[in-house]
Amino acid sequence: MRLRLLITAALLGFCGLPLAAQQGSTPPTPSRGVRYPRLLIRNAMVIDGTGNPVHGPLDIMVEGSTITSVRPARPVDEFGTGRGGSAAAGPAADKVIDATGMYVMPGIIDVHSHIQFSRSGPMPKDYEYKLLLAHGITTIRDPGSGEGIDTMVAHARLSAENRITAPTIIPYATVAADNPTDVRAMIRRVKAAGAMGLKVFVNRPDVWDAIGDEAKLLGLPIATDMRIQEYDVRDAARLGVRSIEHWYGIPDAAIPGGVQHFPETYNFDNESDRFRWAGDLWRQADSARLSVVLDTMLAHHMTWDPTFGVYEANRDIGRAQTLPWFAEYAHPAVMAYFAPDPTRHGSYHFDWSTADEVRWKNNYRIWMKWVHEYAMRGGNVTVGSDAGFIYHLYGFATIREMELQQEAGFEPLEVIQHATSNGAKLLGIANTGVIRAGYSADIAIVDGNPLQNMKVLYATGVDTPVNGKIVKRGGVRWTIKQGIVFDGEQLRAEIRQMVKDAKAQRAAGGGQ
């Protein structure tokens, strides 16, 4: 397969684009998900996504793509689900999922999920999509894909039409330019191409002003990290930015004197420098100033999407490099991309020292405290993974983010709210993220209780003692996107096969 390297001109910072994008490869395989006229989920314990406590057991009726009723579980016959169904209960369900002993929650919304069809080499186009669905993720916001906005808009449509196996995709386009005129033209172009929002990195103040103005005119939300530059998160608030990704611009707005202290040899364009010394940024920020910055963000209804997980390798590189799911679920092109290499984005873990890890552990403590504080003041906090970089594997990364939000002090119910209805709020999709009649049938049916252990959401499951023996339990048994049912076990088997095939191909000297 011939590869064409697309060298990205812009300087990309954490969430950058892949240096190589696969061209002209085969399209994803057709969807095998099925949407039923009437689907009944029986006898489920329900986490509704609003922060309400668990209710159950409940029966959930889905008609087409919509939840039409959620009510206390009733005997099978009352629904007319086949044998001896009563006519009074209405038409029979076409499909019944017995969720006895399982927990049902809204499909997860990952608001920071780059679509990547290649890393160090090409991967099957279904690979990432299936990993996402296998973890109950039914909606993603793609904050800029190296595959280009046209491809992402096309895939969003194919997904909506159930022609590919993929979550609902909200495609954002990355914009940057040297001057206000060019950036305005670029924004108009991506809007016409179907972009639903803008992802913005580093820009001159006059270009930022033009972006804010043009985005407002065209009704496009902006996501940005406000990585260290002349403007910080206070300017972003003024310009109407909808979400702060990661965190940099927040402590940067609270540094006494305004300029962060770096070693004399620091170079922002050296990723190793940038990631190492970012680990000192929260320590340098002043608490009183941070408090005011948070109030400014609140006043402008900004969402904070912290993406704790994608930096986690910085505090514990050995753990990150040996995660248990890599063996069966990591495509070799992803693993090769993660390996330390100064030419690749996010692959900067060479000479990573004990002191670096300690610095980052302290950075996390302060960062987590302020994210929690933002939510306590009423700020919207979401779940975004930024997977595909730094040992952060698609799907698993989203669940890891949820675990880290629990570590930040949130109750599991709050974490699930971040991962569902808070994401819907950020994306302006009013009818998803909650298990409730009238809402979209975006649902994850989980073999286990994620409130008790978030790890049950991992495709690898959890070790559970049954009759004195340890067996694998857990995983998302069914993922339902817009009423379309995907079998979790089948997805997991297909992913493992893709990985196996890719490894065999490599061993035989083929592939990438």
Query: CB within 8 A of 276, min separation 6: which ones?
Result: 348, 352, 356, 359
Stretch that binds Zn ion, among 15-23, 208-216, 332-340, 504-512 (CB under 5 A): 15-23
Q: Are 335 and 326 in contact (CB under 8 A)?
A: yes
Binding segment toward Zn ion, per CB under 5 A, in 9-17, 83-91, 93-101, 463-471: 9-17
Cα four-point dihedral sign 432, 438, 443, 446: positive
Q: Please, are residues 193 and 150 in contact by the beta-carbon 8 Å criterion?
A: yes
SS3 letters for 384-407? CCCCCCCCCCCCHHHHHHHHHHHH
With CB under 5 A as the contact rule, the residue among 12, 13, 15, 198 that binds Zn ion is 15
- The interface region with Zn ion, picked from 8-16, 221-229, 342-350, 474-482 by CB under 5 A, is 8-16
Find the part of the chain contacting Zn ion (CB under 5 A) among 149-157, 252-260, 378-386, 486-494: 378-386
Beta strands in 111-266 (DSSP E): 137-143, 168-175, 198-200, 222-224, 243-245
The HSE-up count of residue 391 (CA atoms within 13 Å, CB side) is 23
Please identify, using beta-carbon distances, which residue of 15 and 222 lies nearer to Zn ion. 15
**Of 235 and 386, CB closest to Zn ion:** 386
Site for Zn ion in 224-253 (CB under 5 A): none
Q: How near is the Cβ of 174 to Zn ion at its closest, in Å? A: 10
Please, what is the minimum distance in Å from the beta carbon of residue 309 to Zn ion? 12
When asked if residue 128 is in the footprint of Zn ion (CB under 5 A), the reply is no
* Shortest distance in whole angstroms from residue 310 CB to Zn ion: 8
Q: Decide if residue 386 touches Zn ion (CB under 5 A).
A: yes
What would the two tokens of residue 245 be? 């990704």
Counting contacts by CB under 5 A, is residue 401 touching Zn ion? no
Q: Is 41 in a helix, a strand, or coil?
A: strand
Residue 324 CB coordination number (10 Å) = 10
Compute the least distance from the CB of residue 460 to Zn ion, in Å: 24
Using CB under 5 A, count the residues that bind Zn ion.
2
Distance from C-alpha of 419 to C-alpha of 106, rounded to nearest angstrom? 9
* Tokens encoding 42: 């029986």
- From 11-19, 68-76, 151-159, 325-333, give the range in contact with Zn ion by CB under 5 A: 11-19
Minimum gap (Å) between residue 468 Cβ and Zn ion: 46
Nearer to Zn ion among residue 389 and residue 410 (C-beta): 389
Confirm if 140 and 167 have CB atoms less than 8 A apart: yes
Q: Which residue carries 């684009």 as its tokens? A: 17
Q: Which region, judged by CB under 5 A, interacts with Zn ion, from 13-21, 57-65, 134-142, 212-220? A: 13-21
Q: Based on CB atoms, which residue is closest to Zn ion, 346 or 483?
A: 346
Task: Mark 334-373 with x for binding to Zn ion (rule: CB under 5 A) and - for no binding.
Answer: ----------------------------------------
Strands 380-381 and 303-305: parallel
Cα gap 512→498, rounded to integer Å: 14
Question: Which residues are at the interface with Zn ion (CB under 5 A)?
Answer: 15, 386
